[in-house]
Structure 1
Amino acid sequence: MLSAMTIGGYLIERLAAHGVGHVFGIPGDYVLGFYEQLRQSPLQTITTCDEQGAGFAADAYARVRGLGAVCVTYCVGGLKVVNPIAGAFAEKSPVVVISGAPGMNERERNPLLHHKVREFDTQRRVFAEITVAHAALEDPDTACAEIDRVLHAALRYQRPVYLELPRDIIGQPGRSGHRPPEVHEKSDPRVLAEALAEAAAMINAAQRPVVLADVEIHRFGMQDDVLRLIESAHLPFAATILGKSVLSEQHPLYLGVYEGAMGLDDVRAYVEASDCVILLGAFMTDINLGIYTAQLDLGQAIYATSEKLAIRHHTFENVRFKDFVHGLLAAGLRPHADGARPAPPPPREFVPAAPDAPVTIARLFERVNEYLTDHTVVIADVGNALFGAADLFIRNRTAFLGPAYYASMGFAVPAALGAQMARPEVRPLVLVGDGAFQMTGMELSTIARFGLNPVVIVLNNAGYGTERHMHDGPFNDVLAWRYHKLPELLGVGRTFLVETESQLDAALDAAARHTSSYCLLDVRLDPLDKSAALGRLAERMARNL
């Protein structure tokens, strides 16, 4: 920025430089000036039905594209995105929250301006708890440097950040001559060398090493590096449910999803019998670990993430995740012998059991597995939608999205909006329960407005299925919507009422052919039907009630 640029213009320029092409949100008077700047920029604004939907959409966009952005007004808009941004923080998704705010000249004598909660910095202090960096751009002289600092933190730590724009500041020029700084962080070379020596010796001595791949491999752009490591040392690998599809599930060394006793027995047995488990970018969460049914001996493990490196019970400080993986590639690891190991079964041809056979959870996912193609990205909400999808055969990497740690309902439909905006060449398949759909499903309106074409499968079991299997009662019931009537409301789309296996088979065939708009399948399920994984999850979680 050799000549003075407005502060809002500089923020837009930096977002575009980092690959952001779309900004999700809802305008309001405190941020309308910035929305006008966005309108005149190459970035496209995507106005959603609700701020929570905008937050989930920006999260999915970030997971697919590398950085997302949501733009809202002060407090009444900003505080509505707290939940999706909390999820993005928990699951390491770099979303830039941009909020308008009262102008600095409006704040004299601390007036009770509309949307204000308590103090003028109340919203910023809330977001300080769920972002990795934040700034209120109140000083034009430092605003551009603060933008650079905050955006660097989003990419360095792969977590959300917060920028607050007083409305009388965004049109002011920033400091003349400002340039984005070049930041290069390195590992401590002596510590790195010691860690690599210990790790290489441990892997080379192992008889049956295995890699457990998780979401940070994607977040930090390390999929190609990890794949070369796996192939050069001939290391079988599994994924966690949060990291599902972080590497291609068609790879011959792929075992399946590991989730402790919640997952498939052959994958669990193989991973837990390993004499060297290499956890790369893994989150040790309750769901990833099968509600702590995982039997992983950290005394025989290498645990490397962006925040921690531990080999057996030794910890190493100041070692960057990328440097460690790159070092292993150069460490001369020996190729390990091939042996018997599990592999995910290929999808089977789906044949309806009988013309009037009712749809079950198990049979639904069998048919979905056959439907998937190389151009499908699966987006699963929590509950049966997520746990039933754990064993789907995903063709490409980063083609499965789900809130498998924070586990907020309502993620999937707006996430389809974000994912398809980020990658228009793919077609999302959305798996969502009826309870979650009733929270954010009307983002189908935004999807229709922008001409997107996801296939949405509503697992309609008349309520909150996960909670029903923990402790049932009328509080788990929801109103029975006529989901298949949505095209009459929105004026576009195609829907199907599905009660039998034959109807399911025909509906997915028709949805595959209909690509001009969204399709929705209202799949009626027995309220007590459940996937095996959800049953195991609910049983263990019910013990803590």
Structure 2
Amino acid sequence: MDDTSDRSAGAATLPLAAYLARRLRQLGVDHVFGLPGDFSMGLLDGMLEGTGLEWVGTTNELNAAYAADGYARLRGFGALVTTYGVGELSALNGVAGAYAESVPLVQVTGAPPRGAARGGSLVHHSLVDGDLGHFARAYAEVTAAAEVLEEASAAEQVDRLLTSALRELRPVYLSVPSDLTALPVPAARLQQPLARPASDPHALALLGEALRSRLAGGAPVTLLAGHLVRRRGLGQVVRRLADAGVTVATLLGAKGLLDEDHRSSAGTYVGALTADKATRRAVEHAPLLVLAGAVLSDLSTGMFSAELDESSAVVLGLREARVGDLRVADVDLADSLELLADLVAPHEEADRPLDQAGLWATLQSWLPAGTPLLADAGTAYFGAAELALPRGTELVGQPIWASIGYTLPALLGAALADPTRRPVLVIGDGAAQLTVQELATVLQRGLRPVVVLIDNGGYTVERAIRSPQATYHDITDWDWGSLATALGGAHPPLVLPAGTRAELAAALGTAGATPGRAVLVHAVLPRHDVPALLSAIATGLSASHDAGADDVVGQPA
């Protein structure tokens, strides 16, 4: 809920305009776009006063609609406010575009008072024919729902329309008569958050049975993802499918949904206009094709040149799915795609005890683009060295000097050097014991890194080189969670344990969803387990240490 909602928590009512604003804040909307007019100024006063909404005035209403569309694609919802007639008609093209592209936003019109509408007044901005409903009817053609608010049901209408936008991923139209902006509406309604309707559990179970049967033959799966997958924010599910070996191709509106250097990425499919023959073959000759959130329009299919057998494909739509002749309604795309992922990439393996392979595979699938990744000398650095780094991510470490403990103080420097980027540090317990006191400086300054501490009972990198059972590889056992809390003082990190792959995935997911707080992931791994690269290098180091001086390669000339 927005940070101003407490002001209305104890009140029985609040003005309609403020109610609308607070509903928008609950949906993640902090900015509203548009131009003012005499029919909308009272509405704007009520929406902007003390609600936390920020007004962004644009140069015309069409641009306001475009801005709200762009905002919604990244925030999940957008809003614009215009005046009646001249303003809302200028925005109509942009709202229609949002409808075609499945973008949820609300067009709010400040309209003439109800008396003018009832009496057929020849008001300005109208067609002076006594009918003030022309433009609401026009908006009904390009929105999921369009209504003029009424006194007896205004709050219910607001909630119904915004829920429609969430459910349908389409714009909605809300006309607010100027004499209703201060209408008292029940504040208690704000305690019930708006949400898209859940999938029907019986329908979801039916779909699960059909998908399980369809997948039983073990045929390789190709997923063709459309723009609705992006609109619903399902990139993580697509990544999970790709990590499980599902070939993923995208239509034009979903390009970039999956990193295109991912081993399972087949690129962008545009029918016969697809540049890469392998991409076209992967889609059109797929043994089992899944169309997810795909709208097969002329441009996205290369002017209808796609050679797809839709009748044999599994089709996962926004609120309906089809497997063969079976159509299942009331299933949300998020649930149907997640169900597919559960069947193709079951979670059982994620519950295995955490090891080096699991650590780096899980980190690989989670690591955000643009991340400064620091990895200390030892298992951390050689594990990180084998990652396929996302775009804009650089690896910071000391492969030459190899002084253990370097990266924890270096984390402080990296976080201060670019406060806009959240650094991630992977460090072993032995290295951390050398320089962990600098974590206090990191935390006391309110910095918010993600620290993955590899707790494997000592100097595992040294064990891999020689005498793995030697006592000099051991370190004292610390309570890392309590230590981090003590060092944090007034700014303690969120400490999350990870002893299995599932726990690590959950911890990293929580870290990603908690960007404003430092996170320490306490990852417990086997004492002698090392990344494959380190194992190979350790063998070479061991051999070089036992060789005579004349046999050592790499000596300076």
Normalising by the smaller structure, the TM-score range is 0.5 to 0.7
Deviation at 1:109, TM superposition (A): 2.9
Say if 2:22 is the partner of 1:13.
yes
Specify the code of the residue in structure 1 equivalent to 2:110. G
Structure 1 Cα separation of the partners of residues 213 and 269 of structure 2: 25
Say if 2:317 is the partner of 1:305.
yes
* 3-state SS in 2 of match to 1:293: coil
* 3-state SS in 2 of match to 1:168: helix
Structure whose CA Rg is larger: 2
Structure 2 Cα separation of the partners of residues 108 and 133 of structure 1: 22
Say if 2:239 is the partner of 1:227.
yes
Sequence identity percentage? 31
Equivalent residues in 2 for 1:141-152 (5 A)? Answer: 141-152=152-163
Deviation at 1:306, TM superposition (A): 1.0
* Structure 2 equivalent of residue 260 of structure 1: 271
* Structure 2 equivalent of residue 402 of structure 1: none
* 3-state SS in 1 of match to 2:95: helix
Say if 2:331 is the partner of 1:295.
no
Specify the code of the residue in structure 2 equivalent to 1:81. A
Preserved CA contact (<8 Å) 1:260 1:292:
yes
* Structure 2 equivalent of residue 71 of structure 1: 81
Equivalent residues in 2 for 1:230-245 (5 A)? Answer: 230-232=242-244, 234-245=245-256
**Cα deviations across residues 444-503 of structure 1 (Å, max 9, x unaligned)?**
xxxxxxxxxxxxxxxxxxxxxxxxxxxxxxxxxxxxxxxxxxxxxxxxxxxxxxxxxxxx
* Structure 1 equivalent of residue 485 of structure 2: none
Specify the code of the residue in structure 1 equivalent to 2:33. F
Say if 2:109 is the partner of 1:99.
yes
Say if 2:255 is the partner of 1:281.
no
Using the size of structure 1 for normalisation, the TM-score is: 0.59
When residues 278 and 395 of structure 1 are mapped into structure 2, their CA distance, relative to the original with a 3 A threshold, is farther
Preserved CA contact (<8 Å) 2:61 2:90:
yes
* Structure 2 stretches lacking a partner, 5+ long: 1-7, 348-368, 372-389, 393-419, 422-557
Preserved CA contact (<8 Å) 2:290 2:314:
yes
Using the size of structure 2 for normalisation, the TM-score is: 0.57
Deviation at 1:98, TM superposition (A): 0.5
**Aligned counterpart for 2:96 among listed residues 86, 96, 104:** 86
Specify the code of the residue in structure 2 equivalent to 1:22. H
* 3-state SS in 1 of match to 2:174: strand
Indicate the larger mover: 316-325 or 290-299.
316-325
Preserved CA contact (<8 Å) 2:321 2:328:
yes
* Structure 2 equivalent of residue 129 of structure 1: 141
* Structure 1 stretches lacking a partner, 5+ long: 336-372, 376-393, 397-424, 427-545
Deviation at 1:177, TM superposition (A): 4.3
Deviation at 1:158, TM superposition (A): 0.9
Deviation at 1:34, TM superposition (A): 1.9
Structure 2 Cα separation of the partners of residues 7 and 55 of structure 1: 23
* Structure 2 equivalent of residue 212 of structure 1: 224
Structure 1 Cα separation of the partners of residues 391 and 103 of structure 2: 22
Specify the code of the residue in structure 2 equivalent to 1:240. L
List 4+ stretches of structure 1 deviating above 4 A. 179-184, 332-335
* Structure 2 equivalent of residue 30 of structure 1: 39
**Aligned counterpart for 1:321 among listed residues 309, 319, 333:** 333
Higher-RCO chain (CA-CA 8 Å, sequence separation at least 6) = 1
What is the aligned-residue RMSD (CA, Å)?
A: 2.6
Specify the code of the residue in structure 2 equivalent to 1:34. L
Indicate the larger mover: 77-86 or 109-118.
109-118
* 3-state SS in 2 of match to 1:159: coil
Deviation at 1:184, TM superposition (A): 7.1
Preserved CA contact (<8 Å) 2:167 2:197:
no
When residues 58 and 286 of structure 1 are mapped into structure 2, their CA distance, relative to the original with a 3 A threshold, is same
* Structure 2 equivalent of residue 449 of structure 1: none
Equivalent residues, number: 342
Preserved CA contact (<8 Å) 1:206 1:276:
no
**Cα deviations across residues 104-128 of structure 1 (Å, max 9, x unaligned)?**
2344531100011241111111111
Equivalent residues in 2 for 1:491-506 (5 A)? Answer: none
**Cα deviations across residues 154-185 of structure 1 (Å, max 9, x unaligned)?**
11111101111111110221246444546673
